[in-house]
Amino acid sequence: MAADIDSRYPGMEVWSFSGLYNARTNALTEPDTAKRPWPQLGLWWDGDLTAELLNDGKIEKWGPLHPTSTGSVPRLVSTWNYGAVDASQGINPLFVGDIVGDWREEAMYTDSAYDELIIFTTNQPTTTRLYTLAPNPAYRNAMTFKGYMQSHQVDYFLGSGMSTPPRPHITYAP
């Protein structure tokens, strides 16, 4: 898994069951390798430029100043509290991506009867102004991944300390 979840270090972090590392230096950011997030999905959710974590129907926020073991990462949302079927029931999100258009991502689930679409979107304001992610070619391509769900990435660095990304070159075809 790769995402910027620790603003103390430039760039992204990468993690697996062997620990949490700074991607640029390959140095452990947390010496206790048991203290790392679960490596499943990242998403931009709460309005700051570090990514949040999505796994087993939980949206979580890694706390680099107070690292915890995988099962104790601070939780922002438990999707099953709102009727969503989650991975513990064999269901991953149907889709994760920026569909509202403010650059933060939504997560879509179904209910247990499979007759409702449940969309989770943030209710947290942000002062960060970026164009919607869908026009970005790398992001748009990633939104079409099927089978093995992966976190979406853009073709520029989206994270703490980023510079303003270029505007997408979008034109209408005649």
DSSP per residue over 21-83, as a string?
EETTT--BSSSSTTSS--SSEEE--SSSSS-EEEETTEEE---TTS---GGGSPEEEEGGGGT
What is the Cα–Cα distance from 139 to 168, expressed in whole angstroms? 12
Residue 171 lies in a domain: no
104: confidence class by pLDDT, cuts 50, 70, 90:
very high
88: confidence class by pLDDT, cuts 50, 70, 90:
low
Strand partners, 28: 21
Residue 73 lies in a domain: yes
Distance of CA 98 to the CA centre of its chain: 11
147: confidence class by pLDDT, cuts 50, 70, 90:
low
Residue 90 lies in a domain: yes
Mean pLDDT of 11-17: 92
Residue 121 lies in a domain: yes
Q: What is the pLDDT of residue 85?
A: 86
Number of domains into which the chain is organized: 1
pLDDT by residue (tens digit) across 18-53? 889 999 999 999 888 888 888 889 999 999 999 999
Maximum average pLDDT range among 88-92, 104-108, 145-149: 104-108
Nearest partner of 43 among 126, 122, 124, 109, judged by Cα: 122
- AA letter at 51: A
Rounded to the nearest 10 degrees, how much is the dihedral formed by the CA atoms of 148, 96, 91, 20? Answer: 70
Q: What's the pTM?
A: 0.88
- Residue 87 pLDDT more than 80? no
Q: 118 or 146: which carries more pLDDT confidence? A: 118
Residue 109 lies in a domain: yes
Q: What is the pLDDT of residue 173?
A: 83
Residue 72 lies in a domain: yes
Tokens of 138: 């790398």
Residue 156 lies in a domain: no
Residue 153 lies in a domain: no
**Domain, as residue range, for 73:** 2-142
Q: What is the pLDDT of residue 35?
A: 87
Q: What is the pLDDT of residue 92?
A: 82
Q: What is the pLDDT of residue 5?
A: 94
CA angle 55, 60, 62 (to 5 degrees): 115
What is the Cα–Cα distance from 76 to 78, expressed in whole angstroms? 7
Nearest partner of 117 among 147, 87, 79, 149, judged by Cα: 79
Nearest partner of 150 among 73, 47, 35, 39, judged by Cα: 39
Cβ atoms of 110 and 84 within 8 Å: the answer is: yes
Mean pLDDT of 130-134: 90
